Copies of this chain bind each other. A is one copy, B any other.
Amino acid sequence: MMGNPLHLLMNPRSIAVAGANNNPSKMGTIQALNLLKDGYRGNFYPIHPAEKTVLGFAAYAAPEDLPEVPDLAIMIVPSKAIVPLLESFGKIGTKRAIIITAGFKETGAAGLDMEIKINEIARQYGIRFVGPNCMGIINSQLSLNTTVLPTAKEPGLLGFASQSGTFLSQSLPYLNKRGIRFSKAVSMGNEANINMVDALEYLGEDEQTKAIILYIEGIRDGKRFVEVARRITPHKPVVAQYVGGSVSGARAGMSHTGAMAGPDFLYNGIFKQAGIIRVNTIEDLYAHGWTLATQPPLKGRRVGVITNSGGPSSTIAYTCDAFGLEVPRFSDGLQKEIRKHIEPHASASNPVDMTFDLSMGKLALTLPEMMMKSGEIDALVLHGAMMSGYLKEIYPNLKELIGNISLDEFLKVGQLDRKIPDGTFDLSRIHKMPMLISTFFDHEDNYIQGYLDTNNPVFYSPENTARALASLYRYKQIKERAPHQDVALPKIKKPAKEMISRALTRKQKALDEYEAKQLLACYGIPVTKETLTGKVEEALAAARQIGYPVALKACHWEIMHKSGKGLIALNVKDEIQLKKEFKNIQKNAGKKTPVLVQKMLKGSREFLAGMTRYAGFGPCVVFGLGGVFTEVYKDTTLRLAPLADADAREMFADIRARQLLDKFRGMEKVQLNRLSQILRALGNIALLHPEIAEIDLNPIIIDGAEPVVADALIVLESNIK
C-alpha cells in the first residue's frame, strides 16, 4: 500500500495551493474554498505573488517562503508557470502534486513538450503527481475535496478513477440526489505521471472502498492494468466504462486527455479476462458501482419483485429475463401467505403486485420480509414505496376538502402519514440479501430519502433496477472463477527460431503457409497433413499417400491471401483433376510456384484463432467463428497473452456460436483441451518470438472432434513493438 504514490497524495498533512486568490469567480479560488469548507483539517498554505492573505490564510510568494514543506502541492496556475513552480516545490522537498492546469499533451506538440518537461522535473526531485489537465481528488475520509463542486457530507464506499474530471465534479449534485457517495476519487487528467493503473491499485487496497468504478478513454499500460485488475476483482468488484473504441469516441478522448485509445473489441476482451464488469453509460457506471459497493453478495439468480403497480412489475420481470436472471413463480404456500395481505384482485405469484394501494407498511416491510425469509429468492426489487412525495403532489387538489390545512400539517397529521416502521430500511442488511429500490418519486419523498440515507440503491427507472441486479450476478460469476494461475512459458524451439531468422534474412514479410504450419507444429499446434512441391509428379505421389480428395494451394510468402485468385483448388478428387488444377495454379500465379498438397478435411465446423499486438498491451489472442461466416457475424473474442487454460475456456463460453463446440447435430463434442492448447500456444509463440507481428489461423476445421489448422498466416515485421 505504502508503495503506491496515491497513498501520500490522498492523505497529506499539509497542502500548498498555487492559483487561488480572493476572487470568488476564479476556479482556483472555488477549489481552495471547497478544500477548506468541505472539511480538510490539515495545514493550508496559499501561494500568491501579491496577496498578503488568501481566503483568510497567510499567503506566501513562493514555495521557498513556506514555513514547512507541504506534503502536497496543488497547482491551478497558467500552463507556462507550471514548470518553474514544480521545480520550486521539488527544491524544497515536496513529493506529491496535483496539476489542475490544462494545455498540455491534449493540445498538440508544444503541449506535449511541456508535459515531458514537467515529468523530467518530477523524476529529478522524486515527485509523483496527478494531472495535468484534471479536477484533482476527493478523499471522503479526510473530507479532502479539490474539485469545483462541494462533495457529500458523509464518507462514501465507492472508489472512482476517472479520465474525466466532470464525472467526479460536475456530477456531484446529481450523485448527491441519488445517495451515491465516493470513498476516494481521482480525476486522472493526462496521466503524465500517476496513471489509471496506479489509481486502480490504490483503490483496490483501500479498505474504505467497497467497489471501484473506472471511466476510461484509453489505457496506457494495458499489461499492468490486467495484472492489477486481476488481483483485485476476486475480492472487490470493478466496473468500467470505455468510450475510446469508436472513431469519434477516440477523437474526443484524444483532444480531451491525449488518451491513446484501442479498439472496443480489445477492451471488451481484457475487461473479461481481468474480471471487470463493463457498462456503457456513466449512469450505469455510478449506479451499478454503488449497488456493488453497498449490497450483500448475490447468491443466485432468483429475483423477487414487489410493487403496487403492474407496469413496473412487468418491465422489471421482462428485463430480469433479458439479462439472465429469473423471476420464479412462488410456491403455493408462499402465495397463500402473501394473499392474506393483499386485495383479492392483486397478484401474489411473483411479481407480487399489490395494485394501487397506500399500505406502505405491507409494501415496504411486511411482504418484502416474507419474501426474503421464504428461501425462494436471492434478491428483491421493490417499486412504489412513497408517502410524503405522493401527499405533496395531491395536496393542492385536496387542500380545500381537508379544511385548507397547511401542507406541513397535512403531512404531519394526515391519516396517511404513518410513521415509517422500524426495520424498513434495514431489510437488506438483516437478511443479507440485495434489495434495490425503483421509484418515480425522488429525494423529496420521505421513503426515498430514507432509502438514500441508508445506502439502499435507488433507481428512477424500473428496468435499470433489474439491470443493476444483473451486474451483481455477473460479479458472483467473477468471484467464482478459478483463481488466476501464472503461466510458465515453454522454451524457445530452435527450429522455429531458425525458420524466422532465415525468413528475415531473405527479407520475407511473412512465412509461407508451409513454413507457418511447420512453426506452429513445433509448439504442438495440430496442422493439416501436407507436402510442398514444385513438381506435378511429386504432387501426385503425395496425394496418393494422403488419400483423395486433396486440396492444392499455391504456396509462397508473398501470396498472403489466396482466395478469389484461382490459387486454390479444393476437393480435388482424382489424378486427372489434380494434374489440371496443378497447371491452372501455375498459370494463375503467373510464374512457377510451389504447390501445397493437403489433406482435405471433412468437418463442417470452422473456427479461427489469431494473434495481434496492441500498443501498451502486447500480444493478444483471438478466437471465434471461422470460415465463410467470419466477417458476417464477427463472432470473436480476445485475451491478453499468455493465456491460462481457464482463459481459453472462458473464450469458448464467450462466443455466440459456443454450442458449435458441443455435441451438435450429430457431430461430436470438440476436443476443447486441444483447442485450448492451440490458443495458449499462440500466445506463447508471440511472447517467445517478438519478430512475429501477427498470426492468423483460419479455418481451424473440426475433423471429427479434433481441431486441425487448415490454413495459417504468420506475418513478420522489422519494427518490433
> In the complex, A353 Cα to B666 Cα: how many Å?
58
> In the complex, A280 Cα to B321 Cα: how many Å?
13
- Asked if A300 CB lies within 8 Å of chain B CBs, one says no
- Asked if A215 CB lies within 8 Å of chain B CBs, one says yes
Copies in the assembly, this chain: 2
Q: What total of chain A residues lie within 8 Å of the partner, measured CB to CB?
A: 120
**CB within 8 Å for A313 and B256 given contacts A401-B55, A656-B632:** yes
Kindly list chain B residues whose C-beta atoms are within 8 Å of the C-beta of A329: 251
Partner of A281, one of B27, B107, B344, B461: B461
- Asked if A94 CB lies within 8 Å of chain B CBs, one says no
- Asked if A43 CB lies within 8 Å of chain B CBs, one says no
Partner of A280, one of B170, B282, B317, B463: B463
Q: CB within 8 Å of B: which residues of A?
A: 22, 24-25, 27, 29-30, 33-34, 36-38, 55, 79, 102-104, 106-107, 111, 133, 135, 148-150, 162-167, 170-174, 177, 215, 217, 241, 243-249, 251-253, 255-257, 280-283, 305, 309-322, 326-327, 329, 343-345, 347, 349-351, 353, 355-356, 358, 384, 389-390, 393-394, 396-398, 401-402, 415-416, 440-442, 460-464, 563-564, 604, 628-629, 631-633, 635, 656-657, 659-660, 665-666
> In the complex, A50 Cα to B107 Cα: how many Å?
79
A249 touching B318 by the CB < 8 A rule? yes
User: Smallest Cβ distance from A19 to chain B, in angstroms?
Assistant: 13
> In the complex, A37 Cα to B406 Cα: how many Å?
17
A248 touching B327 by the CB < 8 A rule? yes
> In the complex, A624 Cα to B426 Cα: how many Å?
51
> In the complex, A564 Cα to B663 Cα: how many Å?
12
B397 touching A34 by the CB < 8 A rule? yes
Kindly list chain B residues whose C-beta atoms are within 8 Å of the C-beta of A311: 162-167, 215, 256, 282
Identity of the chain B residue whose Cβ is nearest the Cβ of A35 in the assembled complex: B397
B628 touching A657 by the CB < 8 A rule? no
> In the complex, A629 Cα to B606 Cα: how many Å?
12
Identity of the chain B residue whose Cβ is nearest the Cβ of A30 in the assembled complex: B394
Kindly list chain B residues whose C-beta atoms are within 8 Å of the C-beta of A33: 394, 397-398, 401
User: Smallest Cβ distance from A553 to chain B, in angstroms?
Assistant: 16
User: Smallest Cβ distance from A449 to chain B, in angstroms?
Assistant: 15
Kindly list chain B residues whose C-beta atoms are within 8 Å of the C-beta of A245: 318
For A102, A358, A396, the residue with the greatest tally of chain B CB atoms inside 10 Å of its CB is: A102
**CB within 8 Å for A345 and B401 given contacts A243-B317, A309-B166:** no
Kindly list chain B residues whose C-beta atoms are within 8 Å of the C-beta of A27: 356
B252 touching A353 by the CB < 8 A rule? yes
**CB within 8 Å for A317 and B246 given contacts A102-B345, A564-B665, A631-B659:** yes
A462 touching B353 by the CB < 8 A rule? no
Identity of the chain B residue whose Cβ is nearest the Cβ of A29 in the assembled complex: B401
Kindly list chain B residues whose C-beta atoms are within 8 Å of the C-beta of A309: 164-166, 170
User: Smallest Cβ distance from A56 to chain B, in angstroms?
Assistant: 8
**CB within 8 Å for A148 and B249 given contacts A309-B166, A398-B24, A563-B666:** no
Identity of the chain B residue whose Cβ is nearest the Cβ of A410 in the assembled complex: B24
